[in-house]
Amino acid sequence: MRNENLARPRAVTPVASEQARTSAPLTALQSTRNLMSIHERNILSAATPLGMGERGPVPKRRFQKGCFQLKNGMAYSFYYEDFQQPDGSVATRKVRHFIGNVGEGGISERAARREHSRMMDEVNRKRGSVAPATPGRSFADSVTAWRSAIAPHLSPATVRQRESYFRKHVLPRFKDAAPHTLDVGTLQQFATELRKTLSRKTVINILGAVFSILDYAGRTGTRVSKVAFADIRLGSETTRPRTPYFTREQASRIIRSAAEPYQTLFAVAWATGMRAGELLALTTEDLDFSRKTISVNKSADDYSREIRQPKTPTSCAILPMPSALESTLKNYLTRHWQPNPPGLLFPNRRGTRPRLRDNVVRYGLKPLLRKLGIPAREVGLHAFRHGLATELANAGTPLVTLQQQMRHADVGTTLRVYTHVLPDSQRQAVEGAAISTVGAISTRK
């Protein structure tokens, strides 16, 4: 392939002479300006108009599609490119690029057009030019479409989280951008800047919100770039945040010291590992004392208290009811529970809706933790769930069984979430190795 520069300055004197013969006499300044204009039109494209000032001509970086031409079996691309002049300034010139022979013994016309498109993408990238968003097809428009079509099918908690990301991080950056301009380079730079102040997990969640918009936009016919999580580099966490959880001894003290209905609520939380929303959405119909099982099939939203489907399809499950929990539940239903229209196991005082999780933590759990001298910072109902998982892992429970009890979508999630667990078997193995090696050294005199 070869590049042919078509921007060869034409002689300007004959043009000026012709103008002098056909128009009124010009002043010296006007003649000079006309000659400059003629020369510049040979160098700079009309598609990149000039801004004349004290610093000289500066070409505007407009997006260009170029021109594909097929002539005598040969394919060409015509476009404008920037070049540096001898004085150091940047100008624009028209270029004809020979793509190749088309037809027998050469490439197909479709392949030639694809090469033209690839070249134009590269030219625009180097010039810092991006395609303008088609009216109604900006990223903000795609977010609006997602809100009306997809958001109603997601849990309120998920929608609130993504709306927060859109408001704080995404829309201020990409509101007016065309979806297809969010390519690997753009999103990588965005992620890199976020990582300066946010954790890796948070950045992953923000990117997930962006990808959810691009995915729906692409499925509805909007042009988008093909970008995936695997294309973005985020680095690793330098320090893993400690996951708060209760030990068996702490959970026992909490449950024994709590008043009803918190005592039974905390007992169910520890014995089943249920999430807070699932726990507060339980009804008496979910309890099967004959089979000693508890059915998990719904979840209460943290803010609206609306009862919806659980977090994921795998969250729906039938969990075993331990004998100790069976006795606790029967005692609670007989002596403390009040019938209510929804049949909720832990309703609010009016018996109309589930309890609010924040209130359970604020008035039922935190005062008890402070009274018992148990750390209460950033601790909630989830600490019972993590505590049960820790206890099961330390007891040598198979990973698949742990995954089923926690109801994670895949075993990889179980591994990522509970990396804080150090099984006793692992500790004992290390202790044994240390005694036979390090211990021998320490006993030398």
Taking the whole predicted model, whether its pTM rises above 0.85 is answered as: no
pLDDT in tens, 294-303: 999 998 887 7
Residues in the chain, overall count: 445
Mean pLDDT of the chain: 79
Give the whole-angstrom CA distance, residue 242 versus residue 195. 19
pLDDT in tens, 19-73: 333 344 444 434 434 433 434 444 333 344 444 444 444 444 577 888 999 999 9
pLDDT in tens, 191-214: 999 999 998 889 999 999 999 999
CB atoms within 10 A of CB 423: 15
Higher-confidence position of 378 and 143? 143
DSSP state of 285: G
CB atoms within 10 A of CB 352: 12
Lowest-pLDDT choice from 116-125, 184-193, 423-432: 423-432
pLDDT of res. 265 = 96
User: Span 275-280, mean pLDDT?
Assistant: 92
pLDDT of res. 417 = 64
Sorted by where each starts, the structural domains of the chain and their CATH numbers stand as 3-127 (no CATH), 139-231 (1.10.150), 248-417 (1.10.443.10)
Higher-confidence position of 52 and 396? 396
User: Span 389-403, mean pLDDT?
Assistant: 83
Q: Are 396 and 387 in contact (CB under 8 A)?
A: no
Structure confidence at residue 407 as a pLDDT band (50, 70, 90): confident
pLDDT of res. 343 = 94
CB atoms within 10 A of CB 23: 9
User: Span 314-332, mean pLDDT?
Assistant: 91
CB atoms within 10 A of CB 209: 19
pLDDT of res. 41 = 41
Helix (H) or strand (E) holding 257: helix 248-257
Higher-confidence position of 77 and 9? 77
pLDDT of res. 416 = 66
What whole-number percentage of the chain has pLDDT above 90? 43
